[in-house]
Amino acid sequence: MELMKRSILALVLMSLMVAGCCDDEVIAVYDPPPQPPQGVFSITGNDSVFIYWTAPYEGDITHFEVFRSFYEFTDYELIAVVEAWPNPDLDLIYYEPGYIDDSVTNGTTYFYAVTSIDEAGQQSELSAESVFDTPRPEGRMTLWDDSVNTAGSAFDFSEGGVVAYADAGADVWLNRFDGVFYIEVISYVDVLIQPMGFSASFDGVGWAPWAPDEGWSWTGWAEIVPGHIYVIAIKDAHNDWNYAKLRVLAEGADAVMFQWAYQTDENNPELAPPVIGDPVSNKAQASR
């Protein structure tokens, strides 16, 4: 099924159709189509995208239909049907998540929309929010102090693997000076690093700053602090950038454990979900 995404028009809530006359007058009540889900947004995963929404304040919604496209305004195709929860009291119901799309490929951008279906089989307009996502690989890894284990001291984001400091694919490496751990870039020209501070979750930093704009460390290194996130920008031979991030999970005597994510889509700074409550300003950055 293919739909065109369009602006939602104001609907007339009720109209009356009068048939017959005299004592046999019959009044038929017009049942308008349901409202679309509200507050639709996505969370970036690894070979997956998590779709969230809020149900409309209506008691006769039977299910929702989730649509996906490679374009923002056209070619939306049905990918899932999600049963609605009963809502006789017209409560505010969140679908967290309503659907997980695991038929996606890392590095490809997808657009999403959701519709409501009522008991009469009527379908709402597509949800109004501009929701797009680019899934990317992520994982966990441990880097060792270079002086203790050189072969396990660096990381190659494009391969998602721990490598030696001297490996051609190494992007960052773990260094220690006077007992303090530092994460350091291999190349001060082609790899940039920017500390983003403490975050209670890995998704606390959803977008990388643009490279090579201001804010990136001119020293090429940053002190390791548990719970802190560091954004990495890696330039290729064509002067395109790939973005990555690290979050410090634990610090040991000779090694540090990180959580990592890498955006395989070139020049795409999306690393996690938009900030809830301010999706427009964050999403707009990606079209820069």
Domain locations along the chain? 2-133, 138-282
Q: Which CATH superfamily is domain 2-133 in?
A: Immunoglobulins (2.60.40.10)
- Alpha carbons within 13 A on the beta-carbon side of 21: 0
Q: What is the mean pLDDT of residues 12-31?
A: 52
Q: What is the mean pLDDT of residues 43-68?
A: 95
Write the CB contacts of 277 (distance below 8 Å, at least 6 apart in sequence). Answer: none
Per-residue pLDDT band at 71 (split at 50, 70, 90): very high
Give the tens place of pLDDT for each residue, 94-135.
999 999 999 999 999 999 999 999 999 999 999 999 999 999
Cis? peptide before 269, omega within 30° of 0: no
The span from the CA of 25 to the CA of 196, in Å, is: 70
The span from the CA of 218 to the CA of 220, in Å, is: 6
Per-residue pLDDT band at 286 (split at 50, 70, 90): very low
Quick one: tokens of 191?
């790899």
Q: Is the confidence at residue 3, as pLDDT, over 60?
A: no
pTM of the model: 0.74
- Report residue 16: phi and psi, to 5°: -115, 135
The confidence score (pLDDT) of residue 26 equals 55
The span from the CA of 197 to the CA of 236, in Å, is: 27
Between 226 and 187, the higher pLDDT residue: 226
